Structure 1
Amino acid sequence: MNMSRSARDCERTTFKRQHLSLLDLKEMELQHGYLYKNTIPAYPESVEFCVQKVSHVTGESGLRAIFLDSGFRQPPDLVDNDQPHFLWWSFVVTPDDISSAEERFLTSLFPHRSSAQIYNQPRVLEHFTNSKAFQEKSSYGNFCFTFSLKELLWHYSKQFCGDQSPVLRVYETLLFKKEIQYTVVVHPRHVNLYDDFTRLPSQGDGVCGFREGVMWWRCQAPSDIHNKRLEVNSFDGRIDVRPHHKEEYYVWDHVCLAFHMEPGWVLNVDRNRLFKRVNACEVSQPCLLRPPETPLSLNEAECVLADLKAEMG
């Protein structure tokens, strides 16, 4: 365990080589206010999402650099500062992913539901998946590149791994004031910097894993603001969602992929494909753009993207 301040200038606790569940963290008796709140209403816990898409978000200068390079590299200022050589990607949880997760969640609670019970069950997860892990907005910029994980791993394998599959490992758990980040490191087999980090499991009861091109993630805290409560009616085989008498703030969790990048490496992607994979998005608070970047409105970002496409022909 290590206490430090991050690039976003806030305190964090780092647990290297581990993905610690919410229960694991609570049992450690840390000095952390939100983690131990006992007023959080009942909500869906340990819901398994199967995620097939990932995104990389950047500001306007990052956008232009990506198209200039026809690909992704670590920002030069981070290389110069001897920071870890990572290219960061986040999970994209789609509405279909949420629907599939809800079906698994309900089936795990009521494995023998009748057709009528299934038909009459109101939607559940849409009331609780309100953290930044499920939003189209981002704290990291106005321009979001979205790829299927399979495609991204294929590009990385062809360019840096000698056509071998890259290795995915449990890298760390970061605990912030209101956020738990699980980091997975992705690296070529010939890079031995991470040999003492456990390989990401393909099955089991861990926080996340990788199987056949799909990441699974057992989300333990899908909401940062709780204003609903879950009511399980075992007799009727049904779940209801009720209003909670007040809003409660809590930690939320998510997963990031950190692709190992050597200085000078560029993960090349054809420009036409880049244009198909990028869209404008709004910047959410807190804004974590590195100066001198500043957030744009959605309309401004869309205009920048349209102008760039015109410039690039």
Structure 2
Amino acid sequence: MAAKTNFREGRNARNKYESIFEGEHILINDLRTRKEIVERPISRYINKEIIGYPTSVEFHITEVAHVTNLTSLHKIWDSEGFKGHNENQFSWWSQKINNCDIQEAEERYLERLFPNRSKEAKSAQQPVLKQFTTSPLFNNEISRYGNFRFTFPLSELMETYKKQKCEGEEPVLRVYGTKIFRQEIEYVVLVHSPQFNEKFKNFPLLTSSPIVDYDGHRIIWKAQAICETHNLELDLQLGDILVAKPMFYQFYVWDQVSFAFHTNEVLIFPKTKLKASLRCCEHDSKIDLSLGKNCSSVKDAERVAESLNDGEKEEHKSEEIKLEKD
């Protein structure tokens, strides 16, 4: 049974204005009809009619990322892991999408559009989806949340969570809600231990979501808006061939899936694993959601990351000393 809709709005922990429908993942077309947001400023981009772009596109995501600032990096390093914050005790993660994910999503999209494509059409089709994946979600070189990105296979993160937080039982995934920002729709998946089933019982299980699914290894996401800003549209050529052609510049919303892992204690990883998973990116100072200190450049961030002591050098040094004595 679906949870009773609980709509609220206001400033979030990052001082960003948001509206949220708790307990529901709502398609963009359906959001346009919700009385809670109709004729409100926040519906400005949602209500636009943009045509000629790829939707919906099914992505199979196997990696997730946690991006943070310099201040929080040291906290993560000192505690050897990730801890939930604020009253909800959530640790937030986003999807990490690479070029291979995009290529595979394009093939699924084309097969759905043209199930009877000829071999000639398949050979003649040039990559087209990459030209449309322009929302911030797909940009791995820059982030609004800071310079430091930890990336893990979703299966590894889930397995670690299962062992440390669920006493070996499978984590429970639920529909936490649909967050609506000025130009962004965020579908939040709640992950928690079975021992908190009573606490979160009003949030439906993820199987009720029309947008997100989890098969025990990967997230299956039916993306509705991958562009944010539109200056191209799809054009169908003879022979079931799709190409991108210029169009009048238009702003629109973009959507993404995020994961809120409920944990009141640190989700621990070995420092060698933390360091191996860490990459640096440019901080987007124009839209700063980092809530902390950041580095002035990627090079500075890389120097900080390199300076983190994971104990590996000391171990190698001890082995070298032992070999010399032998």
For residue 170 of structure 2, give the secondary structure of its aligned residue in structure 1: coil
- Of 301-310 and 160-169, deviating more is 301-310
How many angstroms does 1:41 deviate by? 4.2
Aligned to 1:68: 78
In 1, distance between residues paired with 2:115 and 2:75? 51
How many angstroms does 1:10 deviate by? 3.2
How many angstroms does 1:74 deviate by? 2.9
Aligned to 1:227: 231
For residue 36 of structure 1, give the secondary structure of its aligned residue in structure 2: coil
TM-score normalised to the size of structure 1? 0.91
CA RMSD of aligned residues (A): 1.7
Aligned to 1:259: 261
Question: 1:131-190, CA deviations, whole angstroms, 9 ceiling, x for partnerless residues?
Answer: 011111211111100000000001111011011110000000000100001000000001
In 1, distance between residues paired with 2:31 and 2:246? 28
- 1:44 matched to 2:46? The reply is no
Please tell me whether the aligned partners of residues 46 and 253 of structure 2 are also in contact (alpha carbons under 8 angstroms).
yes
In 2, distance between residues paired with 1:141 and 1:242? 34
- 1:168 matched to 2:173? The reply is yes
Distance 1:296 1:74, change over 3 A: farther
In 2, distance between residues paired with 1:205 and 1:104? 20
Please tell me whether the aligned partners of residues 41 and 226 of structure 1 are also in contact (alpha carbons under 8 angstroms).
no
Q: What is the correspondence of 1:80-119 to structure 2 with a 5 Å cutoff?
A: 83-119=87-123
Distance 1:290 1:312, change over 3 A: farther
- 1:33 matched to 2:44? The reply is yes
Aligned to 1:274: 274
How many angstroms does 1:28 deviate by? 2.1
Please tell me whether the aligned partners of residues 167 and 186 of structure 1 are also in contact (alpha carbons under 8 angstroms).
yes
In 2, distance between residues paired with 1:55 and 1:178? 21
Number of aligned residue pairs: 299
What percentage of aligned pairs have identical amino acids? 35
- 1:22 matched to 2:25? The reply is no
Distance 1:97 1:74, change over 3 A: same
In 2, distance between residues paired with 1:106 and 1:37? 25
Aligned to 1:7: 13
Please tell me whether the aligned partners of residues 142 and 296 of structure 1 are also in contact (alpha carbons under 8 angstroms).
no
In 1, distance between residues paired with 2:145 and 2:276? 20
TM-score normalised to the size of structure 2? 0.88
- 1:239 matched to 2:242? The reply is yes
- 1:123 matched to 2:123? The reply is no
For residue 118 of structure 1, give the secondary structure of its aligned residue in structure 2: helix
Please tell me whether the aligned partners of residues 41 and 228 of structure 1 are also in contact (alpha carbons under 8 angstroms).
no
For residue 307 of structure 2, give the secondary structure of its aligned residue in structure 1: helix
- Of 53-62 and 2-11, deviating more is 2-11
For residue 58 of structure 2, give the secondary structure of its aligned residue in structure 1: strand
Q: 5+ residue gaps in structure 1?
A: none
How many angstroms does 1:310 deviate by? 8.0
Aligned counterpart for 1:179 among listed residues 159, 184, 199? 184
In 1, distance between residues paired with 2:129 and 2:229? 14
In 2, distance between residues paired with 1:251 and 1:296? 29
How many angstroms does 1:3 deviate by? 2.2
How many angstroms does 1:302 deviate by? 0.6
Q: 5+ residue gaps in structure 2?
A: 1-6, 314-326
Q: Letter of the aligned partner of 2:189 in structure 1?
A: V
Aligned to 2:201: 195
- Of 63-72 and 6-15, deviating more is 6-15
Please tell me whether the aligned partners of residues 235 and 244 of structure 2 are also in contact (alpha carbons under 8 angstroms).
yes
Question: 1:21-52, CA deviations, whole angstroms, 9 ceiling, x for partnerless residues?
Answer: 111112225221111123x3410011010000
Q: Letter of the aligned partner of 1:68 in structure 2?
A: D
Aligned counterpart for 1:248 among listed residues 247, 250, 259? 250
Question: 1:196-254, CA deviations, whole angstroms, 9 ceiling, x for partnerless residues?
Answer: 211112xx881111013110101100011111011134x5212121011x321111000
Please tell me whether the aligned partners of residues 74 and 87 of structure 1 are also in contact (alpha carbons under 8 angstroms).
yes
Question: 1:56-88, CA deviations, whole angstroms, 9 ceiling, x for partnerless residues?
Answer: 11111211121211111135xx3xxxx211000
Distance 1:123 1:273, change over 3 A: same
**Structure of larger gyration radius:** 2
In 2, distance between residues paired with 1:8 and 1:224? 21
Aligned to 1:159: 164
